A and B are shown apart, each in its own frame.
Chain A
């Protein structure tokens, strides 16, 4: 590895201002000096509107832990868009994402991805991972929330004879239920893995209003470490149930937290691990401004929807890069961390994490977080 780096540095004498990777990219698109990339190796349809995309990542990718997610960049009409997807492949194998067609970006991924296509990547991350020490597990998933859990199940169940996993998966209809066959096969093969499929089309939404529903599906749920992944409402319900159970049966928090503790069990919110994707700021509407945060400078300013972010920053004493102040020179570009901005020239409201915005012609459209 070190020798390779030395070689690359030597080669860059001949390629400057390009990096050797820029030249290698002519032969294998996985090479890039600036942007982690992957090449799609296989696309497997799962249901009518979902598919699993396997890819070979370039150098700089970290092997993922079961349950982690990665940011994936896809081009829509020439413009790169980033979304986060859970990795569904087991730990230790080449990564794969399972995507459900629920929006413009995922729709393109599901329908238009072919082997050989390039995906843009950020290394896997996330804390929704298996516990360090073996313990009985309960997985609660709904819809595409099964993807990170599938990675955990594939990692754990076939390789650990001591695994004890209960999976309750909710989907609308059997034909919408991703991985249904593979899960059933695993359950047949490994007695310590139990699967309950809950089809809301037949039985309605799973009821977390009281413990009774869960009691009937998994009587010992209180003593299991629980992992939940699904839509917001589903997770809120689960959280409420665990909190209510904990409040109803107060006990010494120390004993509950001790891993593998024995004795009388009560549900504890710390035993419920949740994976949410909707962490982005909510966009404002029209000309409403919002709270602008300058992250590195540690400043917050309330801004209206008509003042350029460049002015807002300068007024707040932030060292803002600037140029023409009329939107032609691109000297003022700053990365957006979160939120939405309005283009003062066109009125268009836009913004994705990581996108570089022209602060001299962009105003806050709701809360905005800038990387400066």
Chain B
């Protein structure tokens, strides 16, 4: 064993240079510069000076600090209440489906289960997996322990979503969420005849969205092009296989099997299938409203070269779109209806996005930046319009 010599080597040869007289202040990698400018600033923000962008960054930092100072017992009570309600709905829904030979029971059970699955996936799962509730230090509600009622394993999704998508939001070539390697969602993505199928692919994707995400999280392109190792691929495939089997067994075997006791096996199976499809269609719709509606920008790699903290914030704001609506709608979207705020502060608790939104909107207005928002149907329509439009060849105007 070399453990002892390792220790000695490490202590005598300090790798971080603490022994120098002056403290070494090398910049934190990944930490964005407070001042400076990217090689190219996105057109929507081209009118801003470096100093203005830096000031915008400071203003947004201040908004975050204000929430962090307030965050506490009431927020903790909020997420626990939502989890409790969700579990109640889930039990009620599944129990009702056990007698779903009765039509009213089928409708009630399926509705309750759909509602439960939507809450679980969006307001609870997505946000916990972002680490929004890690500050509570509760292992039962933590990004490192949470697993969700969704086919893709939480850990795989956290990598592609929290790290890749949120860091490189809408940078074509870096953020694969721009079309999920399936759809052509930006003019800068080269057109091929395959793109003609855009609307068809998207229509098929919606009801089986969770399976689409599961495949997406495997990063097949990276594997094919050698950026992902064989071991990593095997590991991810195994994790997905186990997770998918459990999910499949619960909804499509165990629940119907128990329901067979009342002669409702087939109906219960239809119920769980429907509930998963409803949740998938809803999640797909909400997520497509996040970055695809008219008014959201995509970016080139030049625009992130030398990006400052302020520029990073600008990119998150002009690359995302909100959905306007009632409080209930916000909760059902997991507060992804506040996509702009979520992208600015991905790990702030979701129940706080609503109070942040007017301040962010005011900042956008003052700095002359777009703040895209609209009712659900309009935003869904707008993102579908893009799906259709980009099926055909065409360049950015």
A residues lining the B interface (CB < 8 Å): 13-18, 22-23, 26, 32-35, 75, 77-81, 287, 289, 291, 298-308, 311-312, 315-316, 323-331, 333, 344, 346, 354-356, 360-361
- Select the residue from B18, B71, B158 with max chain A CB neighbours within 10 A: B18
The 5 closest A-B pairs by CB, nearest first: A325-B30, A78-B76, A330-B131, A17-B147, A329-B162
Residues in B283-303 with C-beta less than 8 Å from chain A: none
Kindly identify which residue among B16, B142, B247 contacts A307, using a CB–CB cutoff of 8 Å: B16
Residues in B72-94 with C-beta less than 8 Å from chain A: 72-77, 84, 87-88, 91, 94
**Given the complex, which residues of A lie within 8 Å of B131, measured CB to CB?**
329-330, 333
Kindly identify which residue among B18, B143, B162 contacts A304, using a CB–CB cutoff of 8 Å: B18
Tell whether B367 is near chain A: CB-to-CB under 8 Å: no
**Given the complex, which residues of B lie within 8 Å of A344, measured CB to CB?**
28, 31
Q: Are A333 and B144 in contact (CB under 8 A)?
A: yes
Complex Cα distance, B67 from A326, in Å, reads 19
Q: Are A324 and B143 in contact (CB under 8 A)?
A: no
**Given the complex, which residues of B lie within 8 Å of A330, measured CB to CB?**
130-131, 134, 143-144, 158, 162, 347
Q: Are B162 and A328 in contact (CB under 8 A)?
A: yes
Q: Tally of A-B residue pairs with Cβ under 8 A? A: 166
- Partner-binding segment picked from B19-27, B35-43, B215-223, B326-334: B19-27
Complex Cα distance, B347 from A264, in Å, reads 68
Complex Cα distance, B11 from A301, in Å, reads 6
Residues in B232-247 with C-beta less than 8 Å from chain A: 243, 246-247
Main secondary structure of the interface of B (DSSP, over half): helix
- Select the residue from A15, A16, A17 with max chain B CB neighbours within 10 A: A17
Tell whether B10 is near chain A: CB-to-CB under 8 Å: yes
Complex Cα distance, B142 from A26, in Å, reads 18
Q: Are A34 and B145 in contact (CB under 8 A)?
A: yes
B residues lining the A interface (CB < 8 Å): 3, 6-7, 10-11, 14-19, 23-26, 28-32, 65, 68, 71-77, 84, 87-88, 91, 94, 130-131, 134-140, 142-145, 147-149, 158-159, 162-163, 166-167, 243, 246-247, 249-250, 254-255, 258, 346-347
- Select the residue from B23, B139, B159 with max chain A CB neighbours within 10 A: B139
Given contacts A289-B18, A298-B3, A300-B11, contact A79 B137 (CB under 8 A): yes
Residue on B with the closest CB to A352? Answer: B137
Q: Give, as a whole number of angstroms, the nearest-CB distance from A338 to chain B.
A: 16
Q: Are A326 and B16 in contact (CB under 8 A)?
A: no
Kindly identify which residue among A79, A299, A356 contacts B144, using a CB–CB cutoff of 8 Å: A356
Q: Give, as a whole number of angstroms, the nearest-CB distance from B321 to chain A.
A: 20
Q: Give, as a whole number of angstroms, the nearest-CB distance from A71 to chain B.
A: 13
Q: Are A356 and B136 in contact (CB under 8 A)?
A: no
| 27 A–B pairs (Cβ distance < 8 Å), ordered by A | A13-B254, A26-B84, A35-B138, A35-B140, A77-B72, A78-B72, A80-B136, A298-B3, A300-B7, A302-B14, A302-B18, A304-B16, A304-B17, A306-B24, A308-B28, A308-B29, A316-B15, A323-B163, A325-B29, A325-B31, A326-B32, A328-B346, A329-B131, A333-B144, A344-B31, A355-B137, A356-B144
Q: Are A331 and B163 in contact (CB under 8 A)?
A: yes
Q: Are B167 and A35 in contact (CB under 8 A)?
A: no
Given contacts A13-B249, A17-B148, A298-B7, contact A80 B15 (CB under 8 A): no
